[in-house]
Chain A
Amino acid sequence: MITLENVTKTYAGETTIGPINVQIPSGGITSLVGPNGAGKSTVLTMMGRLMSPDSGRITVGGLDVAQAKSNEVAKTLAILRQENHFVTRLTVRQLIGFGRYPHSRGRLTVEDERHINEALEFLNLTALQDRYLDELSGGQRQRAYVAMVLAQDTEYVFLDEPLNNLDMSHSVQMMRQLRAAADDLGRTVIVVMHDINFASRYSDNILAMNDGQVTHFDTCADTMKSSVLTEIFGTSVRIIDDIDGPLAVYF
């Protein structure tokens, strides 16, 4: 379980995020949605202890992320932010190997190699494992970073817009793989998403933010309603019932 109690963050004295009070249950996929600038990345980054809130308390799996030892937290949660600009010249396999850092401190054991191979297979990167990261496309690199995060073998996995660089088929693949990570590996996945239809099709819960506040937190089924979505996104949204479930139409 993830709990946020009275969490606030103020940027440069202007934009204020929070106070946020929310409890996200363990298991499954929870999507963070909302307009640009709503505060999704801020909240995810604070949950992943990459930034400390100005006030309030965040616990993930019972650990107070601000207080617990960094290495302890690294065995409980892994976070991946949007892509950074500098690309180290590591191979895909070496990168994923560093996902094992909390467990092995760099000296890979047979157990670590097993996790690395599984993560490679899981994201269809086995053929690319010896390629350098700076010789990959943005999408392939994105998959390599996700594989690294999964190899970290943490119960909680936080991803900020993992579909950013991916084409349609790889987006679908990525979401299926995250689904499998939740279902088969028992991970709790929190993911910031742009596309509400992707979010509703592949996740269990939707947490919507607007203007620094959590405005809605419910199951997908209860979120995919015209009135709810219109309020979340501030633009009129219709629902069409497809055979696989509801689809939001907003153009």
Chain B
Amino acid sequence: MTKLSPTRPDGLVTSIGASKNPGLWSRTWPLLIGLMVTLSLIIASLFIGVYDLSSEGGREMFLITRVPRTLALILSGASMAVVGLIMQLMTQNRFVEPSTTGTIEWAGLGLILTYIFIPQPSLMLRMMVAIVFALIGTIIFFAFLQRVALKSSLVVPIVGLMLGAVVGAVSTFVALQAEMLQNLGIWFAGSFTGVTRGRYELLWIVAVTTIIVYFVADRFTVAGLGQEIATSVGLNYRAVMIVGISIVAITTGVVSVVVGSLPFLGLVVPNIVSMFRGDNLRTNLPWVVMVGIVVITLTDIIGRTIIMPFEIPVSMILGVLGATVFVYLIVRRGRRG
């Protein structure tokens, strides 16, 4: 049996600690490769499109449409992936993300109501309403979660999807009454087609929320250990939940207004990253951000090229991808028992 003296007489860190520190290089090269892949996709995104950039006015076109579209991809992809991960840590459930909790549908309902009650609402107003509705939806979901004994069970996302379906149905009904069904359809088919200069700038807000997540990352990782362990190590669990829910609502609200619904991104990305790198949020955040950008940029490029000169909305491809990952997760879980 190993016995241990309260303080090591030599006061040194044991050799295990030393051997556990792999060289700086072996830690950074995967990141560098990831960074290169991400950058090449970003560049590809900038130069793929119907419009011939070398023709007259190409430069203008590039600045008005391609750059904003690519920036929007980067910002929304990264932030939605990060939001998915913090939701999974907060709920201790791998299947949770804004589209499996009703959050996105609530934001959509908010938007439809704004259009109905206020003629030509400003972008800012729409954003505020979307955030408030996303907040209400997320709080309702978390309130429900408090009553579930087994938080990691599949019941959680199923109820979340049902909540979302109900809210979505209300939106459809309201839109139908107000003859705005088409607007709703366009919104649900989240797409980067209409993202141009003057229409994407609000997305810088989610860059800020993502940076905030980086600075409080450890708190979310500790919260992911469960309320009891988190409390035992002195975390203010309630405060972390409030901050987390706010970040979820703000990010989902902003992305909803600018891009529309981006389902399953927050499900797919964190689960891929978790498989390879675990759940330590602070050290994983660069990876979640990069994979988020890669996934959304790829789906957008596919959507843009597959039936050129027309476009398939990103949300459609994300839906297919998300459903596949969802099923894979369930099957894998079944195997593990």
Task: Give the 3 A-B residue pairs with the shortest CB-CB distance, closest first.
Answer: A74-B234, A106-B218, A86-B92
A101 touches B231 (CB 8 A): no
Q: For residue B277, which residue of chain A has the nearest CB? A: A89
A70 touches B280 (CB 8 A): no
Contacts of A98 in B (CB 8 A): 218, 221-222, 225, 233
Residue B27, interface by CB 8 Å = no
Contact partner, A106, options B4, B228, B232, B282, Cβ 8 Å = B282
Contacts of A152 in B (CB 8 A): 232-233
Interface residues on A, range: 35 or more
B151 touches A110 (CB 8 A): no
Residue B278, interface by CB 8 Å = yes
Binary flags per residue of A159-201, CB closer than 8 Å to B gives 1, else 0:
0000000000000010011001000111000000000000000
The smallest beta-carbon distance between A150 and chain B, in angstroms, is 9
CA distance A99 to B278 in the complex (A): 18
Q: For residue A79, which residue of chain B has the nearest CB? A: B232
Contacts of B218 in A (CB 8 A): 98, 101, 105-107
Given A50-B227, A86-B152, A180-B3, 16 further pairs, Cβ under 8 A: A50-B228, A50-B232, A70-B236, A78-B233, A81-B228, A90-B225, A94-B278, A98-B218, A98-B222, A98-B233, A99-B233, A106-B222, A121-B2, A129-B16, A148-B229, A184-B4
- Chain A residues with CB under 8 Å of chain B are 48-50, 70-75, 78-81, 84-86, 88-91, 93-95, 98-99, 101-102, 105-107, 110, 113-114, 116-118, 120-122, 124, 126, 129-130, 132, 145, 148-149, 152, 173, 176-177, 180, 184-186
CA distance A74 to B235 in the complex (A): 9
Residue B8, interface by CB 8 Å = yes
Q: For residue A101, which residue of chain B has the nearest CB? A: B233
13 interchain pairs, CB-CB under 8 A: A50-B231, A70-B236, A71-B234, A75-B234, A84-B229, A88-B89, A101-B234, A105-B218, A116-B17, A121-B2, A149-B232, A176-B1, A185-B4
B278 touches A89 (CB 8 A): yes
CA distance A117 to B10 in the complex (A): 14
Q: For residue A77, which residue of chain B has the nearest CB? A: B232
Contacts of B274 in A (CB 8 A): 89
CA distance A120 to B17 in the complex (A): 11
Contacts of B286 in A (CB 8 A): none
CA distance A130 to B226 in the complex (A): 21
Contact partner, B278, options A79, A132, A184, Cβ 8 Å = A132
Contacts of B228 in A (CB 8 A): 50, 79, 81, 84
The smallest beta-carbon distance between A149 and chain B, in angstroms, is 8
Contacts of B222 in A (CB 8 A): 98, 101, 106
Contacts of B279 in A (CB 8 A): 88-90
The smallest beta-carbon distance between B214 and chain A, in angstroms, is 12
CA distance A142 to B261 in the complex (A): 42
B17 touches A118 (CB 8 A): no
Contacts of B224 in A (CB 8 A): 88
Residue B93, interface by CB 8 Å = yes
Residue B13, interface by CB 8 Å = yes
B6 touches A185 (CB 8 A): yes
The smallest beta-carbon distance between A82 and chain B, in angstroms, is 10
Contacts of A122 in B (CB 8 A): 2, 4
Residue B150, interface by CB 8 Å = yes
B231 touches A70 (CB 8 A): yes
The smallest beta-carbon distance between B265 and chain A, in angstroms, is 20
* Residues B126-161 near A (CB distance < 8 A): 150-152
CA distance A74 to B93 in the complex (A): 26
A113 touches B232 (CB 8 A): no
Q: For residue B224, which residue of chain A has the nearest CB? A: A88
Contacts of A95 in B (CB 8 A): 225
Contact partner, A94, options B4, B229, B280, Cβ 8 Å = B280
Contacts of B3 in A (CB 8 A): 180, 184
CA distance A151 to B277 in the complex (A): 24
Binary flags per residue of B1-34, CB closer than 8 Å to A gives 1, else 0:
1111110100001101100100000000000000
CA distance A120 to B234 in the complex (A): 22
CA distance A81 to B280 in the complex (A): 22
